[in-house]
Homo-oligomer: A and B are copies of this chain.
Amino acid sequence: MTIAESSRSSPRGRTPLTSKATLSRIGLELFIERGFDQVTVDDIAEAAGIGRRTFFRYFPSKNDLPWGDFEALLDQLESHLDTVDHEVPLFDALRTAVSEFNRFPGDDHGLHRKRMELLLKNPTLVAHSTIRYEAWRAVIADFAGRRLDKPADHLQPKTIGQICLGISVSAHYEWLEQEDQSLPELIDSGFRLARDVFLR
């Protein structure tokens, strides 16, 4: 049980039978075991002991399960960027932030790897991820916009968001192939390799 669950006050009405976190965990287990396409929503609902209809009150779609609480990570990235010293060049601020954003405590490396394997290799999930990526890019674009004193929805900040995401994603793919490499370091390398191209 998470802190969010245990510390919630007692509102009126029936207590929920499960939680997003629990469903996400159960779903992820099934997906890893049998493959995303081989698991139906009914399977997940049954495994969680809830009705199929109820599942869709916790998650808008089966595709959203593997992401878990991505919003929380996003808030983390956002608040980290807020604290970056104004003296740090934009490029380095982004490079470091994106890199650190993908450093996870050592305990759940295996699970995170399997989650990313699902998200980056299953076509349905790859497609669905665009929605999450949009929010991610927006955080970067906002920051870049502030730094460059331009609206976040203008060409340069938007492009920077796209580029940072692109670097992050390709580093993730590389990370899945190279068992031994650290993800933050791969992302850092990605930023540097990208710069080389622009400098050449």
Contacts and interface: CB of A to CB of B under 8 A. Distances in A.
Interface of A: 89-91, 123, 126-131, 144, 154-156, 158-163, 165-167, 169-171, 173-174, 186, 189-190, 193-200
Contact of A197 (B91, B190, B196, B200): B91
Most chain B CB within 10 A, of A160, A169, A197, is at: A197
A123 B127 CA distance: 10
B198 A155 contact: no
Nearest to A144: B197
Contacts of A173: 158
Nearest to A171: B155
A194 B159 contact: yes
